[in-house]
Amino acid sequence: MREHQRQIVLHVLASLAFLSLPLLSEVFSDRHEDGFAFSYWMMRDLLGYTLALAYFYLNFLVLVPRFYFSRRYGWFLLCTLLCFAVIVMLPEILLKFPESTGFRPPGPLRGPKHGKLWWHIMSHHFLRFVLAFFIALLLRISLRLRQTEQERTQSELSFLKAQINPHFLFNTLNTIYSLAIQQSEDTAAAVVKLSGMMRYITSESQQDQVSIEKELDYIRNYVDLQRIRFGDTVAVDFTIADILPAQQIAPLILIPFIENAFKHGVNPEAHSSIRIHLYIQEGVLNMEVQNNKVPVQAGSESSTGLGIQNTRNRLELLYPGRFELQVKDTEQQFSVHLSIQLQL
């Protein structure tokens, strides 16, 4: 809505500036010494500029979308020529300079002897008409390209989210399944946490921005589920600092890096450690995720390799030029440092 209002204000200001040009033109001409002639020529020019402005919006709002984009070029050309004829003829019909003043301007004109004057009148309107034609056409094409790009972006984001959500559901259900097999007393608590996470997925993740506190609650539930599953076999250092609840973030943009740490950094038979640290510094959200590499069995929870790449693609779409992602992959350790410039 704010962008729409800003566009309206810009159009109003640009229109007023355009309509002020005939007044400025007459003020700096020698006709301002004759008050009657000044009023006549100013009204004449003002009508011409008003018609050019009306044609601009007719072309921008109706002719280009209805005829040019639908490739009905014949109708588009015909309407353009008719509009030009109206712009040339209407001031000559509506405004006549009284002959009693002794001065006869070019209009209305009849007969072949006035052919040169008609050509002068047409050329007088031609420049304004051409400018209105091409500016309206280029703006409309630019707007359509921007809308097409936005639709493509939204379609790609929806596709990426569709890949993330089933991946999350698969891993979480696998966790609860493991608890149920073990007949763990923590199964009920895990189901409650899964319920909260699914509620977030269905009600919040479809939005463009969510409260960062809700995103962190989602992460807390996920980490708690993993702690319930692995118990003391994995050391999890999970800290959150200096986070303001009012800050906004794209949903499900952080969890893939944490999921990746638990997929590839946990083995009950080896020493496993995971460090997750989130904090905000000068409006920049920082997340550090680190896990030591341990041998893991490829099974139902093995990664397809799409999680981090999908998240990188989402970051490029949602935060272009406003994020930094550093990934370090060594023989003993895998670490990620993500920084995102947030908007308040």
The string of DSSP letters for 165-191 reads HHHHHHHHHHHHHHHHHTT-TTHHHHH
The mean of the pLDDT values for the chain is 78
Give, for 128, the enclosing helix (H) or strand (E). helix 115-181
Checking if the pLDDT of 162 tops 60, the result is: no
Percent above pLDDT 70 for the chain:
74
Above 80 in pLDDT, residue 336?
A: yes
Band (58; pLDDT cuts 50, 70, 90): very high
Confidence of residue 110 (pLDDT cuts 50, 70, 90): very low
- Label the pairing between strands 284-292 and 248-249: unpaired
Which pLDDT score is estimated for 163? Answer: 55
Rounded average pLDDT over 157-181: 69
| Highest mean pLDDT of the ranges 89-103, 148-162, 224-238 | 224-238
CATH 3.30.565.10 occupies which residues in the chain? Answer: 184-341
Would you say the C-alpha torsion 185, 254, 328, 278 has a positive or negative sign? negative
As to burial, measured by CB atoms within 10 angstroms (0-12 exposed, 13-18 middle, 19+ buried), residue 258 is: buried
The pLDDT value given to residue 288: 96
61-67 average pLDDT score = 91
Query: Is the model more confident about 160 or about 145?
Result: 145
Q: Which of 7-21, 155-169, 268-282 has the lowest mean pLDDT?
A: 155-169
Give me the half-sphere count of Cα atoms (radius 13 Å) on the Cβ side of residue 130.
6
pLDDT at 304 over 50: no
pTM of the model: 0.56
Average pLDDT over residues 253-269: 84
Return the pLDDT at 24: 66
249: pLDDT strictly greater than 60: yes
Residue 303: its pLDDT value, please? 46
Residues near 219 by beta carbon (within 8 Å), at least 6 away in sequence: 254, 255, 258, 276
Chain centre distance of CA 121: 45
Yes or no: say if 272 and 235 are a contact pair by the CB < 8 Å rule.
yes
Average pLDDT over residues 210-215: 89
State the Cα angle at 311 between 196 and 171, rounded to 5°: 45
- On the question of pLDDT at 137 being above 80, the answer is yes
For residue 299, the number of C-alpha atoms closer than 13 Å in the C-beta half-sphere is: 10
Specify the pLDDT at position 307: 65
Determine the pLDDT at residue 36. Answer: 47
At 157 the pLDDT is 65
- pLDDT at residue number 320: 87
Q: In percent, how much of the chain has pLDDT > 90? A: 16
- Say yes or no to pLDDT of 131 above 50: yes
Residue 11 above 60 pLDDT? Answer: yes
Rounded average pLDDT over 33-61: 75
Tokens at 70, concatenated: 């639908």
pLDDT of residue 102: 47
Q: Which superfamily, per CATH, for 184-341?
A: Histidine kinase-like ATPase, C-terminal domain (3.30.565.10)
